Structure 1
Amino acid sequence: MSEHEPAVGYSEVGDQEVRSLRVRYCRLRTDGGEPVAELEALSFRQRFGAVAVAAEGIGGVETQPEFRRQGHMSRLLRQALVGMAQRADVAFVSDGIEGVYEKFGFVGAVAEGHLLVPVRNVERAAGDCLGTAVPGVHDGSSADLPAMIRLYNTAHAMRPWTHERHSGWNRLIPQATWKPGSQTLVLRTGSAPVGYAVLEGRPFGDPVGSLTVDELVAKDAAAARLLLVAVARICWQRRLGAFTVREPADSLAGRVARHMGCTYRQRFPQSGGMMAAILNRRALLRKLEPELRRRAAGRHSDELYETASDALRRGDLLPDDKVLIRLLLGHWSTDDAYAHGVSIPERYGDLCAAWFPGGGTPSLPTPYAHRLDRY
């Protein structure tokens, strides 16, 4: 530090609840109290299949203009990650800047995907009935949130990257000036909600002709089909030819839409995007032991399993944490790892293939970051 640069100190302030997430503010300030840089460390529970673990995410990263390009953000991130490692064993970034987070141990670990559903296909499957209201579908309200949370957790309980939603969750977009907020459709059988769809609100006066569903969750295929028909009916009324559903292809909504005929589009960023980093390897693997046993399904001897588990925790097996987090989350399979030059001892090959089958397989659904849980 030169004699002309002000001394800068680090602090953490928290915890506060912001839109259903616990937030800790990590800050750099000069000795005189002038803000230099800030980020938010958000607490949640993140799934690695059937097991959810405590995790923290980085968001709201910002450096004041007069302090940029002086290394403050690197210092802030390093110190924030030290604090995060005291509270959680894994960290995430919802929207990483290209070329920045890799140096701190993060790596892209989930793809961006969505379904594109032609209205005409839904109309054919529904029997040409888009001119009439769908029975049981109503506008949702805050009173429906507990049932929506239960439906969501049940539907995505095995999906890597999915947040485990708690009873007070509410990250629907609120209405504001020029912003209509989230529109919720709820399907009921009697008085019980059996499915819902959250439509992305478009700014009032926006001339762009499109409709996007942020989330579509249903108890069964019949309910998913009715919700897709209800969304298609809105498009039909607006004279739109297709709509987007932000659900993975192997979700219930995805399977029903695929049966109707749709396109699934995925994007795999080389850098940036949704990223993850292991903070405490041994502790994370201990917590994920039930999930690894589930994936292995008792197909290997106890002796081999314990030997491989010990090697994995020590780092003798798959020593690169960036490779390991991609494998644990299902972003990579062992075949992907081999294609990137990763070596796995032959005696552990079959077990690692069971542990790390990749998403979209019978034992591990596709990892997916739902829009309403991003930060």
Structure 2
Amino acid sequence: MRSLRVRYCRLRTDGGAPVAELEALSFQQRFGAVSVAAEGIGGVETQPRFRRQGHMSRLLRQALAGMAQRVDVAFVSNGVEGVYERFGFVGAVAEGHLVIPVRNVEQAAGDDLEASVPGIHDGSPADLPAMIRLYNAAHAQRPWTHERHSGWNRLIPQATWRPGSQTLVLRTDGAAVGYAVLEGRAFGDPLGSVTVDELVAENAAAARLLLRAIARLCWKRRLSEFTVREPADSLTGRVARHMGCTYQQRFPPSGGMMAAVLNRSSLVRKLEPELRRRAAAQQPDRVFDKAFDALRRGDLFPDDKALVRLLLGYWSTDDAHVHGMSVPEPYREHCTAWFPGGGTPSLPTPYAHRLDRY
């Protein structure tokens, strides 16, 4: 991902002293096969002596008003509980990860973990172009995901008191066919766990070898399991499920990864190609057009918080129905196709990989 463009929004006293500040970051955010211009809120801070006086609420409202002049949707990468709901945001991505027992990987491999895994090498900056290619092939059309461009490097550098990223690359005939980015350990940390921030492979055989390499590392540290931050419907997730694993998902009632619709009609218009793709409607038809116009106007799912959850795949049409939102019979077929929920053939699970969060 290219460096995020950042705007700074600040409040100052009449004398010029800083009161509160936040960053508005510009990027492209995906709703499946279509990405749209978006902005995210980060770096929110109020000076200690000005806290609890309403300054941040005022700054957020001003910042969102400015965002609405530029983009149609806003995001928060890691919202504070009980804060952003007041400004139209809603949790839109569930946090999920795989927990894989080392014994299951060993049994699937058919041998013990003493032998090294062929083709595994420590990664280097020269591997980044291949890693970007593999990542985009695996995840670029996943809701919430950023497509990574040439020059992307969000790997965390390691310092004495700061854990950095450890990268393993799998090569076959000299070409990279998979990689894993491990969450590093700070100096002095106990060897109590292994967490993989990303594990992406070109095919199932490569994914199995990478999982075996991670399991071998755990075996050497006398650990019984490891965590992989990949969605269950990814290639890695499918291979791990075949080996035997647990998929843990958290749906926070507040905070977390959040989104807000700023301009409903404009956002829905930009996502029309994506809605046609989900409905497999390549040619205009009157029912689609009527349903689409009703969605754009707000006659269908008038709550913008529900709309952004539906568009991103956090909710399906059935989920909306459970929460008291009915769909008129003429539009039910289209709404079911538009909003199947993530983890379905037409819409992968929404997922925000840690190395792309701001």
- TM-score by length of structure 1 reads 0.93
- What count of residue pairs does the alignment treat as equivalent? 358
* Structure 1 counterpart of 2:104: 121
Residue 290, structure 1, aligned to residue 273, structure 2:
yes
Distance in 2 between residues matched to 1:309 and 1:24, nearest whole Å: 34
Q: Does 2:249 correspond to 1:249? A: no
Name the SS for the 2:275 alignment partner: helix
1:31 aligns with 2:33: no
Question: Is contact 1:20-1:171 (8 Å) kept?
Answer: no
For the Cα contact (< 8 Å) 1:216–1:253, is it kept in 2?
Answer: yes
Structure-1 residue corresponding to 2:331: 348
1:1-375 equivalence runs, <5 A: 20-298=3-281, 302-375=285-358
Distance 2:28 2:217 in 1: 35
Q: Would the aligned equivalents of 2:232 and 2:247 in 1 still touch at CA under 8 Å?
A: yes
| 3-state SS of 2:69 partner | helix
Deviations 1:267-308 (CA, angstroms, capped at 9, x unpaired): 101111111001111221121111100000029970000111
Q: Are the aligned partners of 1:300 and 1:351 in contact in 2 as well (CA < 8 Å)?
A: no
Partners of 1:22 and 1:43 within 8 A in 2: yes
Q: Within 1, Cα distance between the matches of 2:65 and 2:136?
A: 31
Supply the RMSD in Å over aligned alpha carbons.
1.5
The amino acid across from 2:106 in the alignment is: E
Where structure 1 has 5 or more consecutive residues not aligned to the other structure, the ranges are 1-16
The percentage of counterpart residues that share the same residue type is 82
* 1:147-202 deviation digits (Å, cap 9, x = unpaired): 11111111012211111112121111111222241000111112221111000011
User: Which digits, 9 at most, give the CA deviation of each residue in 1:207-230, with x for residues without a partner?
Assistant: 251000001111111111111011
Quick one: which amino acid aligns to residue 332 of structure 1? W
Distance 2:262 2:175 in 1: 42
Aligned-partner Cα distance in 2 for 1:288–1:219: 29
Q: Larger deviation: 322-331 or 25-34?
A: 25-34
- Tell me which amino acid in the other structure corresponds to 2:341: G
Residues 140, 146 of structure 2: 8 Å contact kept? no
SS at match of 1:366: coil
- In 2, Cα distance between equivalents of 1:176 and 1:284: 42
Distance 1:64 1:149 in 2: 39
Give structure 2 stretches of 5+ with no counterpart: none
Question: AA paired with 1:142?
Answer: P
How many angstroms apart in 1 are the aligned matches of 2:253 and 2:58? 25
1:15-51 per-position Cα deviation (integer Å, ceiling 9, x unaligned): xx9x832222111111222111111111221111111
